[in-house]
């Protein structure tokens, strides 16, 4: 097949993997979300979690804090080389806390490494990189996040 | 044509149908939005509306409450079988109320059935499923929504 | 190549151009963002800016006001005719102000003209059209924006 078409098919498969992962997270199904990783995959959720079981446990821990999560995926930019890929994507997520019912908004990036195993793209490494959060009263306005990968500094940042 | 390429063309056509629908909604054009349905299509907007005229009337009723709507489509996941498809997609929508000027944020899912008639994908059934809303003072924090389709319950939900 | 497949490749290239532009904006790299325009391109950011240098200067001016920007692209609807295209796309953007740390939410449309030069799509004209903003206390609730392109008026608007 034409290389540009193959690249588009792979890009679409990668995006659908990300969408399936999110669907499982928002369905409160950490095992289903972890199944989107390769067996030896690493999930970086404020700490490194190795393998599907550890990833599922970590996701369960995070999800236990919320009655609602809604992760909206945009700006998916994979760089595909044969059966390997890297990718940056954007996420905005709405949450409701179990304890208070308060909202939590989150803006971040997913920085991924992927591999195609037997025709199926999977995450080899997936890191969540925060750029912002918002809670009632904007109480976290001064909270620091890693920010957009490679963000350039200017006078305003000092 | 290669089946995977045909599937990608259909997926793109379905996503563009959803985008056209949104463009017409946000342009306050309920008739144009309803034209994205098959003649015998059903729109489920907190109640079932059969056919384009009933759908347009219902959309007009909803849109009359807002001076601004902005529907942001993500996570489109169609499952295509020949000339039929089902799909789940995410929506986040910003609104301004006619009466107060207050904002209303909405997070939901579009759960769709689609059909390709003479080369044109159309909605056969489109249901809006809410997962969250936010209004000034977060006054709706306790409001119940159907939530993410198939969401699994845990101890936290009881 | 099949015309429908070529159209899909072009649509994907255009969307990736928009994503690269956003990545550079959110990386606080106005020169990199301006490089997504044709040499004779025009950026319309509340005023017309002609050419990459003027566009980069204008973007730098805007970006100096924020410590964080996060632009989430959706609803990309290009209309492609050979090596030319027009497009409407949606953006939602989260910002943090340099001075106060306050958030600023922005909802808008990107209305674009594009051209393919030597296989590379570039912006010939890109206009930002606002439909809404939100700041602490919803202090801008009465602020007027151009609104969704071609929005139809009804009784509620008078």
Question: Average of pLDDT values for B1-23?
Answer: 97
Nearest residue of chain B to residue A27 (CA atoms)? B151
CA–CA distance, B140 with B135 (Å, rounded to integer): 7
Q: For residue C51, give how far its alpha carbon lies from the nearest alpha carbon of chain B (Å).
A: 30
CA dihedral (B107, B112, B117, B120) positive or negative:
positive
* A76–C73 C-beta distance less than 8 A: no
pLDDT score recorded for residue A88: 98
pLDDT score recorded for residue B156: 55
Nearest residue of chain B to residue C7 (CA atoms)? B9
Measured CA distances, A69 to A92, B108, C50, C124 (Å): 10, 11, 43, 39
3-class DSSP assignment, residue C46? coil
3-class DSSP assignment, residue B1? coil
pLDDT at C156 exceeding the cut of 60: no
Nearest residue of chain A to residue B5 (CA atoms)? A9
CA–CA distance, B93 with B73 (Å, rounded to integer): 9
Sequence-separated (6 or more) residues with CB below 8 Å from residue B32: B24
pLDDT at B158 exceeding the cut of 70: no
**Tell me: the pLDDT tens digits for C42-96?**
999 999 999 999 999 999 999 999 999 999 999 999 999 999 999 999 999 999 9
pTM of the predicted model, to two decimals?
0.97
Chain C residues within an 8 Å CB radius of B101: 141-142
Question: Average of pLDDT values for B42-69?
Answer: 97
CB-side exposure of B126: number of CA atoms within 13 Å? 29
Chain B residues within an 8 Å CB radius of A29: 152
pLDDT at B90 exceeding the cut of 60: yes
pLDDT score recorded for residue A153: 85
DSSP 8-state assignment for residue A145: -
* pLDDT band of C1, cuts 50, 70, 90: confident
Q: For residue B145, give how far its alpha carbon lies from the nearest alpha carbon of chain C (Å).
A: 24
Q: What are phi and psi of A138, to 5 degrees?
A: 50, 40
pLDDT score recorded for residue A157: 59
CA–CA distance, A42 with A48 (Å, rounded to integer): 7
Chain A residues with CB-CB distance to C under 8 A? 2, 4-5, 8, 11, 72, 74-77, 88, 90, 92, 107, 131-132, 134, 138, 141-142, 145, 147-157
Q: For residue C31, give how far its alpha carbon lies from the nearest alpha carbon of chain A (Å).
A: 11
* C103–A92 C-beta distance less than 8 A: no
Which other chains touch chain A, taking contact as 3+ CB pairs less than 8 Å apart? Answer: B, C
Nearest residue of chain C to residue A140 (CA atoms)? C101
pLDDT at C158 exceeding the cut of 80: no
Structure token digits, residue A116: 């195609």
DSSP 8-state assignment for residue B69: E
3-class DSSP assignment, residue C100? coil
Sequence-separated (6 or more) residues with CB below 8 Å from residue C57: C30, C49
Which of A8, A19, A103 has the CB atom closest to B77's CB atom? A19
Chain B residues with CB-CB distance to A under 8 A? 2, 4-5, 8, 11, 72, 74-77, 88, 90, 92, 107, 131-132, 134, 138, 141-142, 145, 147-157
Which of C5, C28, C94 has the CB atom closest to A151's CB atom? C28
CA dihedral (B53, B91, B45, C109) positive or negative:
negative
Task: Please check whether residue A109 is in contact with residue C68, taking contact to mean a CB–CB distance below 8 angstroms.
Answer: no
CB-side exposure of B47: number of CA atoms within 13 Å? 9
* C154–B23 C-beta distance less than 8 A: no
Which other chains touch chain B, taking contact as 3+ CB pairs less than 8 Å apart? Answer: A, C
Residue C4 burial class via C-beta count within 10 angstroms: exposed 0-12, middle 13-18, buried 19 and up: middle
Which has the closest alpha carbon to C73: C54, C59, C87?
C87
Sequence-separated (6 or more) residues with CB below 8 Å from residue A61: none
DSSP 8-state assignment for residue C152: P
CB-side exposure of C66: number of CA atoms within 13 Å? 26
Structure token digits, residue C48: 């017309």
pLDDT score recorded for residue B15: 98
Residue B65: other Cβ atoms inside 10 A: 14
**Complex prediction ipTM:** 0.96
Question: Average of pLDDT values for B52-78?
Answer: 98
Nearest residue of chain B to residue C146 (CA atoms)? B68
Which of C20, C29, C68 has the CB atom closest to A152's CB atom? C29
Residue B144 burial class via C-beta count within 10 angstroms: exposed 0-12, middle 13-18, buried 19 and up: exposed
**CA-based Rg of chain B, rounded to a whole angstrom?**
17
Q: What are phi and psi of C87, to 5 degrees?
A: -160, 145
Task: Please check whether residue A87 is in contact with residue C23, taking contact to mean a CB–CB distance below 8 angstroms.
Answer: no
Q: Which residues of C72-96 are buried (b: 16+ CB within 10 A; e: fewer)?
A: bbbbbbbebeeeebebbbbbbbbbb
pLDDT score recorded for residue A28: 98
* C68–A131 C-beta distance less than 8 A: yes
Helix H or strand E segment including C21: helix C3-26
Rounded percentage of chain B residues whose pLDDT exceeds 90: 92
Q: For residue A49, give how far its alpha carbon lies from the nearest alpha carbon of chain C (Å).
A: 27
Q: Note down pLDDT in tens along chain A; length 158 residues.
A: 899 999 999 999 999 999 999 999 999 999 999 999 999 999 999 999 999 999 999 999 999 999 999 999 999 999 999 999 999 999 999 999 999 999 999 999 999 999 999 999 999 999 999 999 999 999 988 889 999 999 998 765 55
DSSP 8-state assignment for residue B99: T
**Tell me: the pLDDT tens digits for C116-133?**
999 999 999 999 999 999
Chain B residues within an 8 Å CB radius of A28: 148, 151-154
CA–CA distance, C136 with C145 (Å, rounded to integer): 18
Q: What are phi and psi of A115, to 5 degrees?
A: -145, 140
CA dihedral (B90, C113, C80, A86) positive or negative:
negative
C5: left (phi over 0), alpha (psi -120 to 50) or beta: alpha
Measured CA distances, A55 to A23, A32, A97, B39, B133 (Å): 16, 11, 21, 47, 30
Task: Please check whether residue B51 is in contact with residue B126, taking contact to mean a CB–CB distance below 8 angstroms.
Answer: no
Question: Average of pLDDT values for B39-63?
Answer: 97
Chain C residues within an 8 Å CB radius of A156: 64-67, 98
The string of DSSP letters for B122-138 reads: EEEEEEEEEEEEE-GGG
């Amino acid at each position: 097949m034409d290389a540009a078409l193959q690249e588009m098919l792979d890009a679409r498969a990668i995006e659908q993997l990300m969408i399936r992962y999110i669907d499982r997270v928002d369905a409160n199904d950490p095992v289903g979300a972890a199944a989107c990783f390769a067996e030896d995959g690493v999930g970086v959720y404020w700490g490194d979690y190795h393998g599907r079981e550890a990833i599922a446990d970590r996701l369960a821990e995070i999800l236990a804090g919320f009655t609602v999560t809604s992760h909206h995926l945009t700006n998916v930019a994979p760089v595909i080389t044969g059966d390997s890929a890297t990718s940056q994507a954007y996420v905005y997520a709405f949450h409701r806390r179990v304890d208070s019912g308060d909202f939590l908004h989150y803006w971040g990036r997913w920085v991924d490494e992927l591999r195609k195993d037997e025709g199926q793209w999977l995450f080899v490494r997936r890191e969540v990189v925060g750029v912002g959060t918002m809670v009632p009263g904007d109480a976290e306005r001064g909270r620091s996040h890693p920010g957009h990968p490679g963000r350039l500094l200017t006078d305003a940042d000092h």
